[in-house]
Amino acid sequence: MACLLEAPLRISVLSEVTATSRHYVDRLFHPDPQKVLQGVIDMKNAVIGNNKQKANLIVLGAVPRLLYLLQQGLSSSELKTEVLGSELRTEVLGSELRTEVLGSELRTEGAVVLRTEVLGSELRTEGVVVLGSELRTECVVLLGSELRTEGAVVLRTECVVVLGSLAMGTENNIKSLVDCHIIPALLQGLVCPDLIFIEACLRCLRTVFISPVTPVQLLYTDPTVIPHLMSLLSRSPRTQDYITQIFSHCCKTPEHQTVLFNHGAIQNIAPMLISLSYKVRMQALKCFSVLAYENTQVSMTLVNVLVDGDLLSQVFVRMLQRDLPIEMQLTAAKCLTYMCRAGAIRTDDRCIVLKTLPCLVRMCSKERLLEERVEGAETLAYLMEPDVELQRIASVTDHLVAMLADYFKYPSSVSAITDIKRLDHDLKHAHELRQAAFKLYASLGSNDEDIRKKITETENMMDRIVSGLSESSIKVRLAAVRCLHSLSRSVQQLRTSFHDHAVWKPLMKLLQNAPDEVLVMASSTLCNLLLEFSPSKEPILESGVVELLCSLTQSDSPALRVNGIWALMNMAFQADQKVKGEIVRALGTEQLFRLLSDPDTNVLMKTLGLLRNLLSTRPHIDQIMSSHGKQIMQAVTLILEGEHSIEVKEQTLCILANIADGNTAKELIMTNDDILQKIKYYMGHSNAKLQLAATFCISNLIWNEEGSEADAMTGCQERQDKLRELGFVDILHKLTQALDPNLCERAKTAMQHYLA
């Protein structure tokens, strides 16, 4: 036990301070149980509100002793009872007592020996282990030993109260307590029938578990704990309060949610939502918000739960009422938000549109506390993220867009001068506020062009994003780049404000050395900035972005690979020869072909897209094909032969069509019978898109350009002849009868060129 080992060392340092504290600990070792009890009570009074005293007592080893007393008391009252005569013993033994009586001392199987001294001097008897609670109670009654039980309960309870008090101190206190294995000891105590004692244990457990230093897993190690806690929920409002608090703080992963769900958390906690006690209602609500978060199973169950004849969603809506405490409104809104995101409530449901959303907007108002504003904004962002209609409604509700601008004004200039405490408070929340605002702006502007315009027109918005991109807090940087990404979906903004504020500069800087999550967002934004019409494209190209993007394509993360190749694809669109050459050079054919066999279809699609963009305009086609023709043809063959989606094959056929458009590149196809057979196959494919793409390719091959030179003409004639030999004319002829008008048209044009 860590705290015991450390003790002697610290004592030497704190010898003076601990002189008085020592006295308290010593009394816990007194032989007279009454004195021990008094000692515990005195200790309780000494530690209340005194962190120093708490630390001292922990250092002096009070915790193990208290735990010892606690467990002693536990084993005695709970498991044992006196045996006052052979008659009684027989009776007791007869009723399924697994005990062994060895002379005057009583030994039990795998259980603790009773030390009667602890329980009061009158009771000098032996203990018997009683298994099964009914039986135990029966024995207690039989033997008239209520007195003894009471004495034991008082001592135990006092011990737990002192432990709970110690836990209320610093985080170090909690660490020490956890190291002393307080949690299993207290959980064991919950088996006791005495309510006061159970409540004390739960209160202490609550204090320990809500501390961030306590590993939550400790709640789940013993599989019997959760069901037992569920059964204790009905005992009293206090047990409800403490247990739900423990659940709320210990439910951190989907696995935890599932464990609690499987043990009937919803059915057990739902009735607490209409408890008379506000505390209980509130804790139950919090518990539900934690259970429902990103959990479809829980959310789907919740919508069908009835509480006193009302649907749970109606109960939550009632909790949004404006005259209720903010905490309750906010948490109820969270529950409804999570249920909505999990698909349990429709986004156009009145309870979302007219109740939850307005409530969350209110939480963002200046009247609310900074913490509430952060939570409100984050929850709102989450609620409307996938739904453009909710985004539109939120954008006009209570001047939300303007209201959010206020999030950036902390610490305000006023607070700095007038009030140090407030400055401190503001500073602490400034980052949180900014990132929450960015998140909400990102969510608001993710779909609607008018909202994006409204956001960018908000006072100093672009400047704020730009400075947010280079803030020290990673959370703010991430949120800022999310916001920028959201706004970058606007053609108009890309052309105007993005260029005016040179957002590409901080963005590029952000890309240099950032964690993956930031990188994904930043590169995605970069993709948009590299679109052909974006004025930022030029300066970005000049800043040597190609290398960076190529390195992204080698990332382990599929999202980064997609973004990298996507950006390159955008960059190559209608680019000049120099840029294309640079891309090919930097990426390297090897990497290009590796990407063509990427397991992620998105990556494959974008790589094909890049190829297609590279292979556009005749001179470029011929040049690239002359240097990389062989590999490209190989890759194309491979993809056409492989198991790929229609889209991938279509894209590949389009590449072939581009190749066929080249002057010299044509020959690479014409000389490749295998490819020609494949084109022929796809012309007869059942999918019209593939037919069209293949026909396009053939059409390019037989194209007879007017006014072109004689040698080209001859080349054209040769190709046409060869293709006729291969039976393409017949196919084209058939396709002129095709149902698809595009296909039909394309085939007709091709036939005309034949005739010419």
Partner 1 sequence: MTIGYFSTTASFRIISMISNLNNAAPKMAELGAGSMLLGDPAFNYQEHELNERLKRLYPAVNEEETPLPRSWSPKDKYSYIGLSQNNLRVHYKGHGKNHKDAASVRATHPIPAACGIYYFEVKIVSKGRDGYMGIGLSAQGVNMNRLPGWDKHSYGYHGDDGHSFCSSGTGQPYGPTFTTGDVIGCCVNLINNTCFYTKNGISLGVAFTDLPPNLYPTVGLQTPGEIVDANFGQQPFVFDIEDYMSEWRAKIHGMIARFPIGERLGEWQAVLQNMVSTYLVHHGYCATATAFARATETLIQEDQTSIKNRQRIQKLVLAGRVGEAIEATQQLYPGLLEHNSNLLFMLKCRQFVEMVNGTDSEVRCFSVRSPKSQDSYPGSPSLSPRHGATNPHLHSAGADSPTCSNGVTPPNKNKSHNKYPGVSSASSSSSSSPSSVNYSESNSTDSTKSQPHSGTSNQETRCVARQGFLLNLTWVLCSDSEMEIEAEHYTNGVAENSSTRIMNGTYKHQEILQAEDDSCASRQLCGGNQAATERMIQFGRELQGLNEQLCREYGKNATHKKMLQDAFSLLAYSDPWNCPVGQQLDPMQRENICSALNSAILESQNLPKQPPLMLAVGQATECVQLMARVRSGSCSFARVDSFLH
Under the rule (CB under 8 A), what is the footprint of partner 1? 321-323, 353-355, 358, 393, 396-399, 403
Cα separation of 430 and 489, whole Å?
A: 28
At its nearest, how many Å lie between partner 1 and the CB of residue 497?
18
> Whose CA is closest to 612, among 646, 648, 658?
658
The residue (of 394 and 571) whose beta carbon lies closer to partner 1 is: 394
Residue 93: C-alpha distances to residues 88, 128, 129, 193, 417 (Å): 8, 9, 10, 22, 78
The residue (of 397 and 412) whose beta carbon lies closer to partner 1 is: 397
DSSP state at residue 100:
E
The residue (of 63 and 345) whose beta carbon lies closer to partner 1 is: 345
At its nearest, how many Å lie between partner 1 and the CB of residue 492?
18
Inter-residue contact 208 to 167 (CB < 8 Å): yes
Cα separation of 12 and 665, whole Å?
A: 88
DSSP character string of 304-363: T-EETTEEHHHHHHHTT-TTS-HHHHHHHHHHHHHHHHTTSS-TT-HIIIIIIHHHHHHH
At its nearest, how many Å lie between partner 1 and the CB of residue 394?
9
The residue (of 4 and 353) whose beta carbon lies closer to partner 1 is: 353
Cα separation of 47 and 230, whole Å?
A: 32
Helix 388-396 and helix 370-384: axis angle, to 10°? Answer: 140
At its nearest, how many Å lie between partner 1 and the CB of residue 359?
10
At its nearest, how many Å lie between partner 1 and the CB of residue 284?
22
Inter-residue contact 49 to 1 (CB < 8 Å): no
At its nearest, how many Å lie between partner 1 and the CB of residue 379?
18
Q: Within a 10 A sphere around the Cβ of 582, how many other Cβ atoms?
A: 18
Pull the structure tokens for residue 324.
Answer: 């209720």
The residue (of 88 and 326) whose beta carbon lies closer to partner 1 is: 326
At its nearest, how many Å lie between partner 1 and the CB of residue 403?
8
Q: Within a 10 A sphere around the Cβ of 741, how many other Cβ atoms?
A: 8
Cα separation of 160 and 163, whole Å?
A: 5
The residue (of 457 and 718) whose beta carbon lies closer to partner 1 is: 457
Residue 483, SS3 per DSSP: helix
Q: Name the residue with tokens 């578990």.
A: 209
At its nearest, how many Å lie between partner 1 and the CB of residue 354?
5
* Residue 136 half-sphere exposure toward CB, CA atoms < 13 A: 19
Inter-residue contact 34 to 117 (CB < 8 Å): no
The residue (of 282 and 660) whose beta carbon lies closer to partner 1 is: 282
Cα separation of 448 and 12, whole Å?
A: 68
Bridge partners of 106? 101
The residue (of 246 and 357) whose beta carbon lies closer to partner 1 is: 357
At its nearest, how many Å lie between partner 1 and the CB of residue 285?
18
The residue (of 320 and 520) whose beta carbon lies closer to partner 1 is: 320
Pull the structure tokens for residue 119.
Answer: 């329980």
Pairing of strands 99-102, 105-108: antiparallel
Give the chain's length: 756
Inter-residue contact 702 to 654 (CB < 8 Å): no
The residue (of 321 and 597) whose beta carbon lies closer to partner 1 is: 321
Q: Which amino acid is at 27?
A: R
Residue 571, SS3 per DSSP: helix
The residue (of 45 and 492) whose beta carbon lies closer to partner 1 is: 492
The residue (of 83 and 403) whose beta carbon lies closer to partner 1 is: 403
At its nearest, how many Å lie between partner 1 and the CB of residue 458?
12
